[in-house]
Amino acid sequence: MRPETREVTNDGIGMMESGACHGFLVIDKPRGMTSRAVVDQLQSAFSLPTRLGHTGTLDPLETGVLVIGVGAATRLAEYVQRIEKMYHTRLRLGARSDTDDGEGTIEPVPLDEPPTEQAVHRALHTFVGEIEQVPPDYSAAKVTGRRAYDLARRGQDFALQPRTVHIRSLDLLAYHYPWLDIQVRCGKGTYIRSLARDLGERLGCGALVETLRRTQVGPFDQALAHPLATASLEMSKHLIPLALAVADLPRINLQEPDVIHIRQGQRIRLPASFDPACLPPQAQELAAFDADNRLVAVVGFDCEQKMLFAQKVLPNSVLTSYT
């Protein structure tokens, strides 16, 4: 069954009328497909234009959790992108690759003796926390405005700059040389292929990604994921509420007059019942809900002036109640 939708263009970001679908769809991405190809296949399930977009690219090699925004959910993609992710990966030690995975040109690394499990544990520990990481040459990272993989495929010389990423945990699941299975919990922008490459250099034996599966993006985990073939048949039945994208933000409840003002882009006074002192020190935004428990906006706040202001407002057409 194809949901009936009609797109309107008063803000250029895919606002829909009340008959449209809004929410997130979690796909179990198969190996060999790009994230864009997944979106294109899902798009064909709609008889009329509906805005879709993925919330973070997975390489064709990768499988697992790919979160797709449908309708107004595309407005919240940035919040999904910055949520912590979890991966299961199998690394092949004793080899290097120009793509840092098994799909590139592989060069064996001569080795007198493989690393011990204790040495692997010690090396993994050195990558936990904030680290500097250089993206793979075959990646979407940009060099003077151009994608690194485009330059690499053309044989051009370039150097990617290191970037700071955060790895919360690295757990060794199994080790039988040359295979090393690990679980990685990390923040936005972390490249597992770069982690494999750098771990291999730390161990002195080289390493590359053999398989890679994303098992979780914050509250979106593989238990919520649907195979692409079945998800595209009755997409509206699998949609997840928009509020899950901002589950890590502190919550604030607004009464109807304040909801109207926020929707109009006006600043409002902090509700008397809300205590800013209860917020986490790093909090900069709040998820604002109306009296019917519907997510209406992401708002910023000024503690000194005790004011709220809109950061991201959802369209009036989003009528589903979110719990």
Residues marked as catalytic: 59
Per the listing, tokens 């109640």 go with 321
**Identity at 46, one-letter amino acid code:** F
Instruction: Annotate 130-152 with b (16+ C-beta within 10 A) or e (fewer).
Output: ebebbbbbbbebebeeeebbebb
User: What tokens does 90 get?
Assistant: 């199998």
Q: Are 60 and 33 in contact (CB under 8 A)?
A: yes
Could you give the CA distance from residue 65 to residue 226 in angstroms, rounded to a whole number?
A: 9
Residue 101 CA to residue 90 CA, distance in Å, equals 10
Q: How far apart are CA 291 and CA 295, in angstroms?
A: 10
